[in-house]
Amino acid sequence: MSQRRPLAWLPGLRSAQSDRRPSVPAPAPEYSMDPRATVGRPVAPVQESVIDAAVYVDGHRMDTPSDLVDIAELHRDTPRTPGAMTWIGLLEPSSTQLLTAAEEFGLHELAVEDAIVAHQRPKLERYNDTLFVVLKAARYLDAAEEVRFGEIHVFTGPHFVLTVRHSQTPDLSSVRRRLENDPQLLALGPEAVLYAIMDAVVDGYAPVVAGLQNDIDEIETQVFDGDPRVSRRIYELSREVIEFQRAAHPLLAVLRGLSEGFDRYGTDEELRRHLRDVADHATTVAERVDGFREMLQGILTVNATLVSQEQNEEMRRLTEASYQQGEQVKKISAWAAILFAPTLVGGVYGMNFTHMPETDWRFGYPMALALMLGVSITLYVVFKRRNWM
């Protein structure tokens, strides 16, 4: 285990061994990003963030300390006992709580910064004899038809495991029970705990994959049914798939990093088999997620095509309606012009002027009628040739 030293590198930290109260400078960017760490806010003792803590010897639980002091004392004695290991689980600890535990286990400050800030991508880091792994868990909510993501940080050393969860997912109590029911596997040490946690995270991806597949099937039905709300659902589901990709794909690099250290760190053959099984499942999940993203892109293209076709059909219907209206307007206009011609002639002859030669002419009346009829027939022929009639 790396040598322990006071973690005084974060602003505002007061050493547990000192009663002095130095002035609190402005927090560093990494520290200020922690939404639970605010200046002047009361901090609960670290014991309240401890979900479970135990000391195991040869895969069997020997002690269950409830106080950090007891945990620290038992941990100091652990290296002296062959086959002994301390496993502490923390849930959403504050920065002060995590720093207290980190100081006891001698964790590297960069890893502790990542654990405090959270919102990290899955990764694997080695700090001397301490391993730091970040995992992204996922859970599918059937009622809301959405995916919720969680984050867990795992610190492993020669004789300890420290897990830091920033969400309720995954529930590591089931992992602990599984290992306690298999003392032979648990006796392999902290690496066995790490692989069991990774196995639980990857197994938790299976219901998410099934839920996303079901959502995609429903979206395909909505697309071809012409549901106007489907575009929004495609967008929301695409965001979940992208987030799932960010959780699953980096995990493959983490597993490769562990595999590359098998020979160098003398990993037990049984653990190697467990890791290869986890890697196989993770690869399958990553491939399925890639397929989901391609399917959603294809569905989005089909939906855009169908929407465009529907818009074109609507434009065609509007154009036909406009054309028909234009034809009716032309007919009405043509008949109005035909009827207007006799009215014009009749209006002229209806003016009672003294000097109008046609009024005294014997054939004036027949000529007026003939003029009305001739103009009307001429207009009819003209409009007919122009397809207005």
Confidence class for position 11, pLDDT limits 50, 70, 90: very low
330 pLDDT band, cuts 50/70/90, is confident
- pLDDT of the residue at 19: 38
Alpha-carbon distance of 110 to 13, in angstroms, equals 15
10 vs 101: which has the higher pLDDT: 101
Give domain limits for the chain. 1-184, 321-385
301 with 234: CB under 8 angstroms?
Answer: no
Taking 50 as the threshold, does the pLDDT of residue 79 lie above it? yes
Q: What value, to the nearest 5°, has the Cα angle with vertex 221 and ends 219 and 227?
A: 75
Determine whether 295 is exposed, middle or buried from the number of CB atoms within 10 Å of its CB (0-12, 13-18, 19+).
middle
Residue 283: closest CA among 295, 272, 294, 275: 275
How far apart (Å, rounded) are the C-alpha atoms in residues 9 and 27? 11
Q: How far apart are CA 281 and CA 309, in angstroms?
A: 42
Weakest mean pLDDT among 117-131, 175-189, 325-339: 325-339
SS (H, E, C) the chain: CCCCCCCCCCCCCCCCCCCCCCCCCCCCHHHHCCCCCCCCCCCCCHHHHEEEEEEEECCEEEECCCCHHHHHHHHHHHHHCCCEEEEEEEECCCHHHHHHHHHHHCCCHHHHHHHHHCCCCCEEEEECCEEEEEEEEEEEECCCCEEEEEEEEEEECCCEEEEEECCCCCCHHHHHHHHHCCHHHHCCCHHHHHHHHHHHHHHCHHHHHHHHHHHHHHHHHHHHHCCCCHHHHHHHHHHHHHHHHHHHHHHHHHHHHHHHCHHHHCCCHHHHHHHHHHHHHHHHHHHHHHHHHHHHHHHHHHHHHHHHHHHHHHHHHHHHHHHHHHHHHHHHHHHHHHHHHHHHHHHHHCCCCCCCHHHHCCCHHHHHHHHHHHHHHHHHHHHHHCCCC
CA-to-CA separations, 13 to 47, 112, 119, 193, in angstroms, rounded: 18, 13, 22, 31
Instruction: Assess whether pLDDT exceeds 50 at residue 28.
Output: no
CATH fold, domain 1-184, is: Beta Polymerase; domain 2 (3.30.460)
Give the range among 11-15, 276-280, 308-312 with minimum mean pLDDT.
11-15
Phi first, then psi, for residue 10 (nearest 5°) are -95, 135
pLDDT tens for each residue of 247-261: 999 999 999 888 887
User: Is residue 282 predicted with pLDDT exceeding 90?
Assistant: yes
Of 86, 113, 108, 112, nearest to 29 by C-alpha is 113
pLDDT for residue 34 is more than 80: no
Share of the chain above pLDDT 90, in %: 21
For residues 315-338, average pLDDT: 81
Position 287 confidence tier, pLDDT thresholds 50, 70, 90: very high
Q: What is the pLDDT of residue 242?
A: 92
pLDDT in tens, 164-188: 988 777 788 889 999 999 999 898 8
Q: Which residue has the higher pLDDT, 362 or 18?
A: 362
Nearest to 288 by CA among 207, 170, 355: 207
Query: Is residue 371 scored above 50 in pLDDT?
Result: yes
Structure tokens at 82: 């062959």
Please give the structure tokens belonging to residue 192. 């066995």
State which fold the 321-385 domain adopts: Methane Monooxygenase Hydroxylase; Chain G, domain 1 (1.20.58)
